[in-house]
Amino acid sequence: DAEITQSPRHKITETGRQVTLACHQTWNHNNMFWYRQDLGHGLRLIHYSYGVQDTNKGEVSDGYSVSRSNTEDLPLTLESAASSQTSVYFCATQYLGGGELFFGEGSRLTVL
């Protein structure tokens, strides 16, 4: 079965460190998204990609970056982690023509 794998599932880091959250999908979907989930805010879009070498900023992109070198992976990098980036991060994929999102299980990040 096709799936979306996020790693690590849980991570604790310190302020100022660089952190990379991995997202790997076997759906062969062109579109990939990163969201963060915070209480009272729901899911907010960080970055998204419509294909290889394509990346776009979402509504809360400051302090985050992504790169898309192949169809399967969209790693999310926090250049210098801040306590405000403590959150649960979800990767999602979508068919080329839009429609429903398929979600990974999430990565819980704590920045101390």
Partner 1 sequence: GEDVEQSLFLSVREGDSSVINCTYTDSSSTYLYWYKQEPGAGLQLLTYIFSNMDMKQDQRLTVLLNKKDKHLSLRIADTQTGDSAIYFCAESSNDYKLSFGAGTTVTVRA
Point out which residues bind partner 1 (CB under 8 A). Answer: 4, 31, 33, 35, 40-45, 48, 50, 58-59, 90, 92, 94, 97-101, 103-106
Min dist. Cβ of residue 13 to partner 1 (A)? 20
Q: How far apart are CA 85 and CA 12, in angstroms?
A: 11
Q: Which residue has the tokens 């982690």?
A: 81
Residue among 16 and 96 whose Cβ is closer to partner 1: 96
Q: Which residue has the tokens 């809360």?
A: 60
Min dist. Cβ of residue 97 to partner 1 (A)? 8
The residue type at 83: S
Please answer whether residues 95 and 31 qualify as being in contact, where contact means their C-beta atoms are separated by less than 8 angstroms. yes
Min dist. Cβ of residue 33 to partner 1 (A)? 7
Residue among 62 and 100 whose Cβ is closer to partner 1: 100
Give how far the C-alpha of residue 96 lies from the chain's centroid of Cα atoms, to the nearest Å: 18
